[in-house]
Structure 1
Amino acid sequence: MQKITFIILFFFSGISLIAQTTKVVNVSSQGNLKNLITTSEQTTVSTLTLTGSIDARDFAFMRDKLSVLAVLDLSMVSIKAYTGADGTNTGVYTAYIANEIPVYAFYDPLLFTYKATLTTIKFPSTTSKIGEKAFYYCYNLSSTIIIPASLTKIGDAAFYGCSSISTFSVVPSNPRYSSSSGVLFNKSQDSLFIFPPAKGSSYTIPSTVKHVGSSAFDNCLKVSLVTIPTSVTSIGSYAFSGCSGVVGSLTLPTSLKTMGDGAFYGCSGLSGTVTIPASLTDFGNYCFLESNNISSFVVNTSNPNYSSENGILYSKNKDTLFICPPAKQGAVSIPSTVKLLGSYAFYNCSKLTGTVNIPASVDYIGYYAFYGCSSLNVFEVNPQNNYFSAENGVLFSKNKDRLIAYPILKNGTYSMPTTVMQIDPAAFAFSQLSGALVLPASVNAIGDYAFYNAKQISAINVDGANQRYSSDNGVLLNRTQDTLFMCPFAKTGSFVVPATVKHINYSAFDGCAAISAITLPNSLISIGGYAFEYCTGLTKILLPLHTTNISDGAFYSCSSLTELSIANPNPPIVDYYTFDQINKSLCKLIVPVGSSTIYSATNYWKDFTMLSEQLFYSAISENSESKISYSLNGNVLTLKNAGANQNLMIYSIAGVLVYNAKPESSIIQISLPAKGFYIVWSENNVFKISF
């Protein structure tokens, strides 16, 4: 049938420069700030000084409405208690305590928005606490953070991601905190809480420090050397995570007893040897994960819990292999004493070559144990092993019901045994397996990233007798085909997602750069995180009406996208990464007629500068084809069976929206403005009427 389209184009020929202003406001009644700043001032006030009384509602207003707020002076304000759902914990009924910078003060956990404009903050002298994630990812917050005497609690991740902070300064009379050289400590300086991320060069932790707090140096990219004194007994979770500028070998102090999860996660500059003292008897998971240039671990022989051999980290009696250093080269020999290969044991050991022999003693292999071992070509298992086996170089459980790892260098096609029930996470990740892979009827579980970056797999086909999975044109779905799990990397051309699909899974099309077009069905409800990441061949895509859930990073780095259409009149919630690395000044955003205003005011959608409107349904029926019945009395239109609490819109033939609501009743009356033709649009019907 004829497609009726209405288009309203918004042209941006240049950038308008808005004069930024300074404003002083006395808030005489808490929660009333929104009534004291005009609509125009919301986009111009960059420096704001408040006096009087405010509460969490006022913080929410500043966070959400003051779009260019950079300098905020609260030094003369009183923060009052508030209980309700209109505070900074968006939509959640919360009790906010007096004198506290509220939780999520400048970060919206529902919309995933940060206050990137904020550069300076001055706290009231009566502030007792800074709430959890209060300044989360305020990455332009760059002034000295002055901690008043009254402040005794800083919540988790309060300043996380504030990469421009260079100095903390604590009022000397503060009973809980202190500062030295811009670094935040407790009062006695035996605990180091936060090292300012913008503080650069080398740093020697004071000899008074016993505890390095969780995330204390997290993502301090400018630090090139940290000297840890022998006074330190504990290092918190992710304390040095992401400190990629710290280079060379790492010698942990002889006083260190405990180290939390991810303590040196992602420290890519670490190379050479990590020396573990006799005192370190407990460290958490992922401590050196993604620190891919470490070549050796050396453990003091007096350590009661850990040991090392040939640079590999083991338990004391070598019955557990914890970490093979990622930069270790050549062949690897697993001792016959080893019973347990920990999760991530050989993670990203890309320089290990040849064959891995699993001895008879091994009774457990954790997930991702051989992830990223890109130079391995064969797994072999001692025939006396009671728990594991190998066939054609592929690692299995003993009875071959679990496929654990496919060697990355093994190329050509592959026929999976009909005994396999479970495919482990990342089992085929990065593999050179080519052609079509057939999943037998026995497979009922596939782990995360099972086929990640296996770029030569052209199709995943499923035995018709399989009760859990199915396939369509080489794409993996569940049995009922309402969930799409994975599209092979090597798939080319265009692809039509089956009409039954409601959910596209996490990373389903991730890296499918050769796909040029994807057609999504009207049934689609949700798109998982990073579902279309790096689909660089896509130039256009239409998101259907019922697509209401678009997860983080869904279209990350779809760099060729020039047209994004969405049939939903209400903008789905997205986050910063959903459309990151898309050129939003060149990519057209096409939305339903009457929806441009709300899209242009919604975070992340409003970043698209070319916005147009369109009626998205090609099938416009006469009323006889619709389930909705209607009658006219003059210009009063009565609709029956419209569907309670469903979207209902009415347009004139010129494309003017005359009605847009979710009526509570299935019978409604509407006054039409003039004689003529109208298009009635509901969630299940589009039809034409006239009077």
Structure 2
Amino acid sequence: MKKIKKIYLFILLFFLISGITYIILINLKCRVIIKNNVFIGIKSGIIEKKEDLKMVEVPDGVNEIGVFAFADCVSLERVTLSDDIKEIEMGAFYHCQNLKDIKLPEKLEIIRNDAFSNCKSLTDVKLPSGVKIIEKGTFAECTSLENLQLSNNTTEIEEIAFNNCLSLKSVYLPDSIKAIGSSAFYNCSSLSTVRMSEGIESVGENVFGGTKAFKNSIADEYGSIYFGKVLLYNKGLNDTVRVKDSTKVIANAVFINNSGLREIELPEGIVEIGDNCFENCKALKKIDIKEGLKKIGENSFARAGVEEVKLPESITEIGYGAFNNCKDLSDINLSSGIERIAGYSFENTKYLNNIKPDEYGCKYVDNILLSSENNGSSIIHIKAGTRVIGAQAFENRKDIEEVYIPKSVETIDFKAFFLCSNLKKVDFEDGIKLKEINYFTFVGCSKIENIDLPDSLKAIYAYSFGDCSFTKIKIPENVEYLDSYAIRECYSLKEIELPEILRGEYHWIETDGIKTPKLVFY
């Protein structure tokens, strides 16, 4: 009997030692973690650490590199990516400071912000045709990057995308590029040749600051520096400036704080006046903007001395605070084609102050509802024929309980009913052609228990609804885009009814303290 017990004990001890040995052996080296075809990351082993890896091959079938998947793999020199990869997530290769060689697969469509930031040894980048947007900081601090090849499908380069790429000598911006964000190529100190996109429509501040190309540029007689059809910078020494005829874009902050600027002559064909462009230009009294202009950026004329502004019929968008605190502004024409007027565009101007509110406190210019003031009206009837409800038009109006929106309304802009905490009823007239519910439109409308959204809707953006009291909401059948964050902190919500087209496209994001509503598709 004792002999049998010893045998059993020996067998048990053998399996125990074998198990421990197996666990140790499989954990000696690094392990790749892949879940649902996403490369999540690398787990260090007992002996081999991820910081010591020099080469990694991502297996076939993986279609996404996860957030910070290779971050701080400081010895990594080469990565072979699967041909199936479509997305590289935020910071995926952040601080892989020895990474020299990586070929981006042709199926790649999305590279998230900071994906290759601080890859100091990376020398060559060729972007596949599917990547349309280079996000914020994607290749920032890649100090050895010498060769950059953008595809003819690239449409936007976001802010600081290539900031501090010290070895980059030339860049060819294809005509497909429409927007370049602030400081996108800032302090690329070796950059001496820039070919600007012919299709450019928007350029941020300091895009090429600190580059040889900018430092070696010769200003014209008015102190202006141009890259292609972009007015990039002005020295601020002239009281009169004539912008050259071929100009399409005035970059952000070109004339900011130019207290001596009295007169600006703009040609036809300019499509955008950038953010903060004429901010604090106290001596500038009048501006005549020719046909072709589509957008005036944020705070473009904030606190300027303008008294009269002539806008063309071509303009479609006026940015946040565009003319705020232009205290002497009394005359401006708003075109019938305007699609968006952001908040505080005319705050503290004679122009806005001189508009008489209607019986509901609403201030209109033709078919545009610019703003409103609290006059104690609990029921608001927006007048028939109104086409645009401006951003923040009813923000924080705690007197409103009901609002009736006519079928003529095509745009309800950002934060239009933000923090209308006593708003209970929103009535959209039958036949309305409203296409979108914008960001923060009904956030803080805590008394809304029911809302019937119009069938015309195509898109509902992030934080359209927040802290509302409805238990159920039906998304109209024509909605093609519903942001995962469109409905947030609605604590009573139990059910969302969704059109079949959104199955697999919409996903509820879990939030602490909020029960996940039932998703019902029809």
Structure 2 length as normaliser, TM-score?
A: 0.56
- Counterpart for residue 270 of structure 2: 342
Q: Judge conservation of contact 1:221–1:245 (CA < 8 Å) in 2.
A: yes
Contact residue 232 and residue 256 of structure 1 kept, 8 A? yes
Determine the structure 2 residue equivalent to 1:163.
Answer: 114
The answer to whether the aligner puts 1:539 opposite 2:446 as a matched pair is yes
Indicate if the aligned counterparts of 2:434 and 2:454 stay in contact, CA closer than 8 A: no
Q: What do residues 615-672 of structure 1 show as CA deviations (whole Å, max 9, x unaligned)?
A: xxxxxxxxxxxxxxxxxxxxxxxxxxxxxxxxxxxxxxxxxxxxx998xxxxxxxxxx
Partner of 1:47: 34
The residue number in structure 2 matching 1:566 is 473
Residues 634-649 of structure 1 mapped to structure 2, 5 A cutoff: none
- Partner deviation per Cα, 1:235-254 (whole Å, 9 max, x = no partner): 45669944659767x88955
How far does the alpha carbon of each residue in 1:186-234 deviate from its partner, in whole angstroms, 9 at most, with x for none? 59xxxxx98995666472543xx486668699457597533366x5263
Whole-angstrom CA distance in 1 between matches of 2:420 and 2:109: 42
Residue of structure 1 equivalent to 2:40: 70
Residue 196 of structure 2 corresponds to: 258
Contact 2:423 2:446 in 1 (8 A): yes
> Does the 8 Å CA contact 2:239/2:261 hold for their aligned counterparts?
no
Shift of 1:322: 4.4
1:340, distance to aligned residue in structure 2 (A): 3.8
* Change over 3 Å in CA distance of 1:197–1:605 after alignment to 2: same
Q: Which residue of 1 aligns with 2:125?
A: 185
- 1:200-211 equivalences in 2 (<5 Å): 201=141, 203=143, 205-206=145-146, 209=147
Out of 90, 101, 106, the residue aligned to residue 154 of structure 1 is 106
Give the Å deviation of 1:119: 3.5
**Structure 1: how far apart are the matches of 2:170 and 2:437?**
40
The 5 Å alignment of 1:89-238 reads 119=69, 123-124=81-82, 127=83, 134-135=86-87, 138-139=89-90, 141-142=92-93, 154=106, 158-161=109-112, 163-165=114-116, 181-185=121-125, 197=137, 201=141, 203=143, 205-206=145-146, 209=147, 218-219=157-158, 225-227=164-166, 231-232=169-170, 234-236=172-174
Q: Find out whether 1:283 has 2:222 as its counterpart.
A: no
Q: What is the rounded CA distance, in whole Å, between the counterparts of 2:283 and 2:316 in structure 1?
A: 20
Structure index of larger Rg = 1
SS at the partner of 1:256?
Answer: strand
**Other-structure match for 1:297:** 234
**Structure 2 CA distance, aligned partners of 1:185 and 1:421?**
44
Contact 1:182 1:196 (C-alpha < 8 Å) held by counterparts: no
Q: Distance in 2 between matches of 1:276 and 1:321?
A: 21
Which residue in 2 is equivalent to 1:378?
A: 306
Measure the CA separation in 2 of the matches of 1:140 and 1:603: 25
Matched ranges for 1:304-315 at <5 A: 310=238
Secondary structure of the equivalent of 1:538?
Answer: coil
Whole-angstrom distance in 2 between the partners of 1:243 and 1:575: 29
> Would the aligned equivalents of 2:293 and 2:314 in 1 still touch at CA under 8 Å?
no
Is the alpha carbon distance of 1:197 and 1:604 closer, same or farther for their aligned partners in structure 2, counting shifts above 3 Å? same
From the superposition, tell whether residues 527 and 611 of structure 1 become closer, same or farther in structure 2 (CA, over 3 Å): farther
Shift of residue 267, structure 1, vs aligned partner = 5.0
Q: CA RMSD in A?
A: 6.3
**Judging changes above 3 Å, is the alpha-carbon distance between structure 1 residues 202 and 241 closer, same or farther for their aligned structure 2 residues?**
same
> In structure 2, the residue corresponding to 1:607 is in which secondary structure?
coil
Q: Tell me whether 540-549 or 568-577 shows the greater mean CA deviation.
A: 568-577
Please tell me whether residue 610 in structure 1 is matched to residue 515 in structure 2. yes
Is residue 137–residue 161 contact of structure 2 (8 Å, CA) maintained in 1? Answer: yes
For residues 623-634 of structure 1, the aligned pairs below 5 Å read none
Q: Which has the higher contact order (CA 8 A, sep 6+)?
A: 1
Larger strand share, 1 or 2 = 1
Equivalent of residue 336 in structure 2, options 422, 431, 434: 422
Name the % identity.
Answer: 8
What is the CA distance between 1:495 and its match in structure 2? 4.3
Alignment of 1:373-522 (within 5 A): 373-379=301-307, 393=308, 395=310, 408-409=324-325, 422=336, 424=338, 426=341, 429-432=345-348, 433-434=352-353, 436-437=356-357, 443=366, 451=370, 473=380, 475=382, 478=385, 485-486=389-390, 488-489=393-394, 491-498=397-404, 501=407, 505-507=411-413, 509-510=415-416, 512-514=418-420, 516-521=422-427
**Separation in structure 2 between the aligned mates of residue 540 and residue 504 of structure 1, nearest angstrom:** 25
Which digits, 9 at most, give the CA deviation of each residue in 1:521-574, with x for residues without a partner?
A: 487788654535265532243333766846242535x66446563146989665
Match of 1:333 in 2: 262
Q: Structure 1, unaligned stretches of length 5 or more?
A: 1-44, 49-61, 80-100, 107-114, 169-179, 188-192, 289-295, 299-307, 380-392, 460-471, 615-659, 663-691
**Aligned partners of 2:290 and 2:442: how far apart in 1?**
41
Counterpart code for 1:297: N
Residue type of the partner of 2:111? Y
Structure 1 residue 357: Cα displacement: 3.2
Counterparts of 1:571 and 1:590 in 2: how far apart (Å)? 22
**Contact persistence 1:221–1:244 (CA under 8 A):** yes
1:523–1:568 Cα change, 3 Å: farther
Distance in 2, Cα, partners of 1:576 & 1:116: 21
Q: Counterpart in 2 of 1:551?
A: 459
- Residue 519 of structure 1 deviates from its aligned partner by 1.8
C-alpha deviation, 1:325, in angstroms: 0.5
Aligned equivalent of 1:112 = none
Gaps of 5+ in 2: 1-31, 43-55, 71-78, 128-132, 220-224
Report the 3-state secondary structure (helix = DSSP H, G, I; strand = E; otherwise coil) of the residue aligned with 2:165.
strand
Tell me if structure 1 keeps the 8 A contact 2:239–2:263.
no
CA separation of 1:353 and 1:603: change in aligned 2, threshold 3 A: same
Q: Contact 2:144–2:166 (CA<8 Å) still a contact in 1?
A: yes
Change beyond 3 A, Cα 1:414–1:221: closer
Give the letter aligned to residue 553 of structure 1: Y
CA–CA separation in structure 2 for the residues paired with 1:441 and 1:254? 50
- Of 353, 363, 380, which residue of structure 1 is paired with 2:282? 353
2 CA distance for matches of 1:532 and 1:258? 33
CA shift, 1:351, in A, is 1.7
Inter-partner Cα distance in structure 1 for 2:121 and 2:116: 13
- Is 1:587 matched up with 2:491? yes
Residues 318 and 275 of structure 1: is their aligned pair in 2 closer, same or farther, counting only changes over 3 Å?
Answer: farther
SS of 1:543's partner is coil
Q: Which residue of 2 aligns with 1:637?
A: none
Measure the CA separation in 2 of the matches of 1:545 and 1:426.
Answer: 23
Look up the equivalent residue of 2:259 and give its one-letter code: G
1:440 Cα deviation from its structure 2 partner? 12
The alignment of Structure 1 onto Structure 2 pairs a total of residues equal to 428
> 1:7-22 counterparts in 2 under 5 A?
none
Cα deviation for residue 135 of structure 1 reads 0.8
CA deviation string 1:443-493 (max 9, x = no partner): 47x6xxx84xx6x6669xxxxxxxxxxxx93635547xxx77457235443
Q: Could you tell me the TM-score, scaled by structure 1's length?
A: 0.45
Q: Distance in 2 between matches of 1:146 and 1:251?
A: 22
Say if 2:101 and 2:124, in contact at 8 Å, map to a contact too: no
Secondary structure at 1:70's aligned position in 2?
strand
The CA deviation at 1:431 is 3.1
Quickly say closer, same or farther: Cα 1:262–1:507, change in 2 above 3 A. same
Alpha carbons of structure 1 residues 333 and 520: separation in structure 2 relative to 1, 3 Å: same
Cα gap change, 1:530/1:269 in structure 2, threshold over 3 Å: closer, same or farther? farther
User: Aligned partners of 1:602, 1:319: CA distance in 2, in Å?
Assistant: 41
Q: Deviations over 1:39-61 (max 9, x none)?
A: xxxxxx9625xxxxxxxxxxxxx
1:401-452 C-alpha deviation (Å, 9 max, x unpaired): 99999954356998999xx8737564982432246457999947x6xxx84x
